[in-house]
Amino acid sequence: MRNLTCPPGAETIGQNLGAFIDNLQGSETAPIMKKHGLVDIDPNTWYPANMILDAFNEMAKVTNTSANMTAIGMKVGQIVPFFGVENPTLEHALSVWNDIYQGLHRGGDVGKIRAEKVGDKHWKTYHSVIYPDDMSYGVLYGYGRRFLKTSFKVFYDPDVKARDHGGTGNETIIHITWE
């Protein structure tokens, strides 16, 4: 995983930070998050994004980095609210993903997410965010579990190496397909 950084002053709202502790890998992620002061999270409080990234950079030294980041992302994908939408769909979630991401941050450029519909059952997402690629992968997987009632597949673009897996580009591309 690359060394994660963000602009000074960038913040994130506590709304989804509980997922960084309460996830499938929580026994590994929670102690590190707590060590970095991310305890008793208030969903309405803004937290310095560098606190989270410092914790993630420490987690990268653990052998289960990919599993930990994916688990955090999956939990985020399962709990992120879609205010004003009674029955959101995967297409809706992907269409507003960047808007939600931007709304959860302030104080600096934290990158962006772009989603492109490739086919009736295939979307391609582009990530230049401050978080690990495996976390974005996990969010997309969490969206699939939440919104699709069929089998699906989430995968990194085979033609563009992900940033956290040695890629040198400015973004990582992740696909989701389903039956």
pLDDT, tens digit, 9 for 90 and up, residues 40-84: 899 999 999 999 999 999 999 887 899 999 999 999 999 988 888
Give CA 24 to chain center in angstroms: 15
In a domain, 174, yes or no: yes
Strand positions, DSSP E, the chain:
11-13, 46-48, 105-106, 113-119, 122-127, 152-156, 172-178
For the entire predicted model, the pTM comes to: 0.94
The answer to whether residues 53 and 6 touch, using CB atoms and an 8 Å cutoff, is yes
> For residue 51, what are the domain limits?
11-178
Span 84-139, pLDDT tens digits: 888 999 999 999 999 999 999 999 999 999 999 999 999 999 999 999 999 999 99
In a domain, 86, yes or no: yes
- Distance of alpha carbon 23 from alpha carbon 74, whole angstroms: 8
Domain count across the chain = 1
Structure tokens of 129?
Answer: 């965010």
In a domain, 43, yes or no: yes
Query: Do the bridges between strand 105-106 and strand 11-13 make them parallel or antiparallel, or are there none, so unpaired?
Result: antiparallel
In a domain, 149, yes or no: yes
CATH number at residue 130: 3.90.1520.10
The set of residues, in sequence order, having a beta carbon less than 8 Å from that of 103 and lying 6+ positions away, is none
